[in-house]
């Protein structure tokens, strides 16, 4: 079982850098005005250590990434996208969702269409994380990268490929093929997910930090087979997280969102009655 990170003595800065090295890479170093560039925050985590995905962890601290831009730049950032996490069960049945090794987190940044060609933009990423093994050490880093507006897009081919590969391995948006791969329906307050591919041998749900709370994530968050039943605590929060299907060495995952069935005293609310059909207009009377 991991020791509480608050009780850990501070580590020298050099030691912390050995455990987690953080860098910021732009997909393109030259970007046309009005285009979007993908930035990657790269965490190189030491062997046998891990950091945390922003999910419903029993312990630990979610990794956070916050971008800042030069004043008046007009740059805008999209959502932060993490890789598919891993379930990690520790002594005492403590369940966490973690990342190990090289962790690539991506953020899209859009350049204003009015930006003049030749302008350099410096983007800064502030990150906070908790790195753990037998003990845990909090860490933070501030890293930056620069790209320039140009008539055509260009960049470092190696960095661009690494970012493209990382994005391809991330969970896809739910609208991008989830309905073709699975069915999802509610049985009371239990969500039933079933893979349509008979080759799927495992279904895993990673609940996001702000979504509905699983009643028993250790026992019910993962199934052996193509069907997973997820029971949630009563409440109004929607289901949010990542659904992963495993078949052999293949992993496919989608970011998943579902509204909750309405409840009355903890029970599903009855369906609203259908409105009565309109009566036909009366025949005009003859005199």
Domains, the chain, ranges and CATH? 5-169 (2.60.40.1250), 178-268 (2.60.40)
115 dihedral zone (left: phi>0; alpha: psi -120 to 50; beta):
beta
In the sheet that holds 222-224, the strands lie side by side as 222-224, 202-207, 239-247, 250-258
pLDDT band for 2, please (50, 70, 90 cuts).
very low
CB of 75 closer than 8 Å to CB of 112:
yes
**pLDDT winner (highest mean) among 171-175, 233-237, 276-280:** 171-175
Give per-residue pLDDT as tens, 105-151.
999 999 999 999 999 999 999 999 999 998 999 999 999 999 999 99
pLDDT band for 279, please (50, 70, 90 cuts).
very low
């Amino acid at each position: 079982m991991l020791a509480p990170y608050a009780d850990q003595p501070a580590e020298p800065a050099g030691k912390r850098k050995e455990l987690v090295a953080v860098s910021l890479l732009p997909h393109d170093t030259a970007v046309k005005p009005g285009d979007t560039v993908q930035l990657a925050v790269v965490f190189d985590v030491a062997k046998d250590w891990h950091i945390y995905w922003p999910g419903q962890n029993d312990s630990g601290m979610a990794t956070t990434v916050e971008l800042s831009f030069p004043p008046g730049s007009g740059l805008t950032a999209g959502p932060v996208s993490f890789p598919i996490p891993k379930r990690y069960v520790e002594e005492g049945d403590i369940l966490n969702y973690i990342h190990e090794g090289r962790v690539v987190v991506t953020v899209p940044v859009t350049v204003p269409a009015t930006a003049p060609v030749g302008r350099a933009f410096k983007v800064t990423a502030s990150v906070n994380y908790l790195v753990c093994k037998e003990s845990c050490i909090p860490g933070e880093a501030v890293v930056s990268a620069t790209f320039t507006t140009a008539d055509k897009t260009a960049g470092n081919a190696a960095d661009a490929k690494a970012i493209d590969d990382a994005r391809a391995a991330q969970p896809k948006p739910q609208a991008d093929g989830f309905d073709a791969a699975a069915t999802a329906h509610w049985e009371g307050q239990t969500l039933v997910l079933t893979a349509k591919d008979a080759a799927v041998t495992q279904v895993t749900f990673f609940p996001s930090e702000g979504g509905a709370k699983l009643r028993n994530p250790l026992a019910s968050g993962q199934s052996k087979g193509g069907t997973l039943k997820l029971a949630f605590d009563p409440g109004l929060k929607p289901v949010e997280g990542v659904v992963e299907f495993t078949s052999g060495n293949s992993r496919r995952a989608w970011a998943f969102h579902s509204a909750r069935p309405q409840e009355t005293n903890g029970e599903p609310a009855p369906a609203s009655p259908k409105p009565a059909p309109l009566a036909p207009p009366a025949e005009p009377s003859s005199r």
